[in-house]
Structure 1
Amino acid sequence: MGFWGSYVVCRSETSLDDLQAVIERHDGVDEHEHRPGGWQIGRYPGPELADEGPAMLAELAEETGAPTLTGFVLDSDTVFVEGYSSTGGHWRACLAREAAEAYCEDDDEDFDARFLLSEPAAQAAAGWAREAGLTPDPPGLLATFAEEDSDFAEGLFFRLLDQLGI
């Protein structure tokens, strides 16, 4: 059985455990990674943060003063990625798209309308990164959003973070 839960990515001097936008929605981080430039990545088990994405991202961006990103992992098969920045607004895409579609096949919503296709997703992600003051790898982003074969979707998410410049 794979991981079910969310990754929260933000730039802040305040620890994720102390940011109101996160702690109001979850009991606590089970893994925490610091990256250069003040970036933090927290792993939160369970589904609590998945439905809170847009609201939490906007609140977290306001609280930290920087663009924010989440990745909701479903059984290590796929990742629903959401980003928010004050200029670019909210965007949503997925990694391992075929697996994501399989998880959503019983939904009554148009999957392609909910989740950006690979090329627009890569463009949105690159814009998000530039607004965050990062140097993205647009061809790498496109390849990651188009990738279908992965043993663990979390690996795709961390590849995405690298290609965003985090």
Structure 2
Amino acid sequence: MGYWGYLVVGRAERPLAGLGALPGAGDGLTPRTSAPGGRQLWGYPGETGVGTMNDLAGRTGAPALLGYVMGGACAIVEAAAPESGAWTTCPGRGTTAGHPGVTDGGLTLEDHFPEPSDAGERAAARAAGAGHAVRAADLAEILTADPARGAAGDAEDLFLRLPDRLGVVPL
């Protein structure tokens, strides 16, 4: 079984864990990597929510990205930018649709998340608003990959491709 927990990506001069924007994480956030310009990747193992990306983007003034990775099999992604608000998506749609809680109450995966091509277009438009040239097709390719097939990597690998392609954190 792969990683189970949250991956948080953002940009700030101070550590993301010390900004007070992720109250659900308490002291559980751990740094995973960083890049020039204050770009950071943090991990938080577990199932309890850490906070919203709208709050983190508001505190940092920069785009933020969160992946809730479920056993390496699927991931739920939330992203936000200070000016354009939040969006959600999920790589590995087939596995995500079969995860308990996603389709409770008669809801479908499409009730929660846009199709990969639509999510790619939305994400590319928001990235462009932040000054990053992103091809929607490159994002849709990540979102249509199926971690269950193994060749694309697990859900954690797919999530970690998003910040790089979005220009948020080159990892």
Distance 1:157 1:127 in 2: 19
Percent same amino acid at aligned positions? Answer: 33
Matched, 1:107 2:110: no
Q: What amino acid sits opposite 1:67 in the alignment?
A: P
Pairing 1:14–2:14 present: yes
- How far the C-alpha of 1:81 sits from its partner, in A, is 0.6
Aligned ranges 1:11-160 → 2 under 5 Å:
11-22=11-22, 24-26=23-25, 27-49=27-49, 52=51, 56-104=52-100, 106-108=103-105, 109-148=107-146, 149-150=149-150, 151-160=153-162
Query: Distance in 2 between the 1:99 and 1:116 partners?
Result: 16
**Alpha-carbon offset, residue 102 of structure 1:** 0.7
3-state SS in 1 of match to 2:66: strand
- Supply the RMSD in Å over aligned alpha carbons: 1.8
Q: One-letter code of the match for 1:131?
A: G
TM-score (norm 1): 0.87
Is the 2:10–2:39 contact (alpha carbons within 8 Å) kept by the matching residues of 1?
yes
Q: What secondary structure, in the 3-state scheme, does the structure 1 residue paired with 2:6 have?
A: strand
Return 5+ residue gaps in structure 1 as ranges.
none
Flag as ranges the 4+ runs of structure 1 deviating above 4 A: none
Report what 2:3 is aligned to: 3
1:29 and 1:87 map into 2 onto residues whose CA distance is 26
- Residue 24 of structure 2 aligns with an amino acid whose one-letter code is R
- 1:43-93 CA distances to partner (integer Å, 9 max, x unpaired)? 11001226x4xxx21111111011211100000001101111233222111
- Structure 2 residue runs of 5 or longer lacking an equivalent are none
Shift in alpha-carbon separation, 1:119–1:96, aligned structure 2, 3 A: same
Q: Is the 8 A contact 1:67 1:131 kept in 2?
A: no
Distance 1:59 1:44, change over 3 A: same
Q: Which segment is superposed worse, 155-164 or 32-41?
A: 32-41
Q: Is the 8 A contact 1:7 1:43 kept in 2?
A: yes
Q: CA deviation at 1:29?
A: 1.9
Normalised TM-score (structure 2): 0.85
Distance in structure 2 (CA, Å) of the matches to 1:132 and 1:3:
30
Indicate conservation of the 8 Å contact 2:12/2:38, yes or no. yes
